[in-house]
Structure 1
Amino acid sequence: MDFFAKIGLHVTKSKSFSARTLDANALKSFAHPLRLRIYELLDERGPATATGLAGLLGENTGATSYHLRELARHGMIEVATGMGRGKEKYWRVVPGGFTYGEPPSDAEAASALEVLLDDLVRQRGTELARWREGASRAPAEWVEASGFGRRSLRLTAEETAELRDQVLEVLERYRTVSDHREPEPAEGRDQPTGHVVIHFDVLPLGALPEDDPA
């Protein structure tokens, strides 16, 4: 997902980052197609109501309200204060992000984690394809600021972990900047902000057995 979080979700043993780790119950609750999509929409588009999300998803408001409450129960989202009228609630992604943490021993939670990781791969493919297909129509300054990257290196496991943590520290710095940025009308900004997604993977493919079917 957002998942340095979407975006931030990452699987790491490092304790130097402020994102909280989802427990087994949160993993099992989050691994639901509609909740994943609701979280994705809130992350991409910003605060929204159950009614607005229902319209985007083709669901009824009762269903989106229920799933919003479930996401909130596990600290994934929260009510956006200062928005809405009367009993109308706008929901937003909780700042700070979260991690999946270590593979859980609970079999049901472990299965949920597999679902979440598969969805993360799906989302990344969708976002990469979306940008590749639409970049020619984006403002020039954003195209110039974007980038695709791939590196193939020969490293030890220790060097790989060090590289991962150093990159995550840079991402954490900019996530903090993003989380503390107050919303303001586009016309009031000297430099308008936009929804920026960063994909970062560390894949020690050389460590896989030679007969791995992948």
Structure 2
Amino acid sequence: MTETEDVREGRTLDAGALRALAHPLRVQLFDILSQYGPQTASSLAERTGESSGATSYHLRALAKQDLIREIPDRGSARERWWERADKSVSFDSPEALASPAVRSATQLIMNEFLGRRHQQLMRHVSEGIAAPDKEDDASMISTANIHLTREQAADLIERLSAVVSDVVAGARGHEEDPDRSPFTVRVDVFALPEDGDGR
């Protein structure tokens, strides 16, 4: 499982980083920094409904594992700015996942991360239905059901990853452009269960 909205030099998270990230608020902070760019503890407190003391504490914990970093030339001693570290991350280290505790931490991270993304998707759908006249031609929700061999699935994943990587590389460095706004890209490719049960 790879978290790839920032497709850059990749990092497979070790057990220490996975344990540090395995907290609902830390997943939320990490994801907000990924999606919306640099933030302060105060701005993150406003977004999450937590206190700035709590967000500051969890930001420092994430920074200790190099998951995020402080922006030294921005802000002041009282207002520190934080950003996501400059790498994509993968949660599937075979060594780390050999530990039941780390597997449990990884499951918590993925549940929180995907739950948050699903809530965003459902909000987009609800708002689109509530305001059908709203112009929004820059979105797509599409699914496809196909029968593939393992080799074809691997090829599809490689090709989709290349497209996302190319677009991310072209957009990098333009985050402050006022004509740009945050988008999320989600690509899911996986084999369906044999019994047809989605649970």
> Is TM more than 0.5 here?
yes
1:58 deviates by: 3.2
Look up the equivalent residue of 1:112 and give its one-letter code. Answer: A
Residue 153 of structure 1 is aligned with which of 146, 152, 159? Answer: 146
Preserved CA contact (<8 Å) 1:21 1:99: yes
- Secondary structure in 2 aligned to 1:91? strand
Q: Deviations over 1:44-90 (max 9, x none)?
A: 33222112322333333322111101111112211124321344211
Alignment correspondent of 1:174: 167
Q: CA RMSD for the aligned pairs?
A: 2.6
* Whole-Å separation in 1 of the counterparts to 2:2 and 2:70: 19
Stretch of structure 1 that moved more, 193-202 or 87-96:
87-96
TM-score normalised per structure 1: 0.79
* Whole-Å separation in 1 of the counterparts to 2:144 and 2:9: 27
Alignment correspondent of 2:42: 51
* Whole-Å separation in 1 of the counterparts to 2:74 and 2:132: 32
2:116 maps to 1:123: yes
Structure 2 unaligned residues grouped into runs of 5+:
none
Residue 182 of structure 2 is aligned with which of 192, 195, 198? Answer: 195
TM-score normalised per structure 2: 0.85
Stretch of structure 1 that moved more, 32-41 or 81-90:
81-90
Look up the equivalent residue of 1:199 and give its one-letter code. Answer: R
Preserved CA contact (<8 Å) 2:27 2:113: no
Preserved CA contact (<8 Å) 1:3 1:120: no
- Secondary structure in 2 aligned to 1:144? coil
Residue 90 of structure 2 is aligned with which of 95, 99, 102? Answer: 99
Q: What percent identity do the matched residue pairs reach?
A: 28
Aligned residue pairs total 195
Residue 66 of structure 1 is aligned with which of 45, 57, 60? Answer: 57
